[in-house]
Structure 1
């Protein structure tokens, strides 16, 4: 008894049905906490960037090992329902749900094509949680006028 008698509170007196209901509520599984999708998308984007840097030509053995760990991490996230989509080399049309940061003229192209993904699109359980950002290459206007595209 570490508190003075005036501050001691007796235990509550509840009848048996109330005690059973309280026990059932305490034993019930709690719903999972909702994920912070923005933080998850940020972490996945950094994972994606690290993968790309380590996949660059000239990586040493330690870099290749780290890249393997990152690929394994990405696969585990995919199993949990988090998918990262890179858009490099894909055909572009204005109806796609990606953000274009820059249109760049490229005479070697015959149609609008994603040249570089700056930030990947991210899906959590098939729901879009991050819009991808890309740089799109397009045929030059001169090539289009001359009928080369």
Structure 2
């Protein structure tokens, strides 16, 4: 199985480095301790742009035109436009991307401060949305379609 090809396909689809390792089937926890370093070792020096998960496609004008066609004449203001965040992984939704961890920790801290808890320590649990499972399966099917030897049952 061509690991570079799998990484390239995952990157083209918008996956982060950690998800690329997951789709390679790596179960070694040390690989996930420094994901960028491990990916650059696997992919070679030509693939050092690994953290850029955006596909590079500009937003299409067709979607904006469609949004304008769906607006009603009764509303004086158009609805707010949705902004696509290009640096969030399409599979894990940013949960496995280290650059998002500090922002999440700050958000949790802010909520805990507002609630006024007196405990010095706490435990958090993370539940992934069901959409993450569907997204993961879609990427696995795309990999299987492009690379018939790919085994997504690992």
- TM class by shorter-chain length? under 0.3
Q: Which structure: greater helix fraction?
A: 2
The TM-score normalised by the length of structure 1 is 0.23
Q: Which structure: greater strand fraction?
A: 1
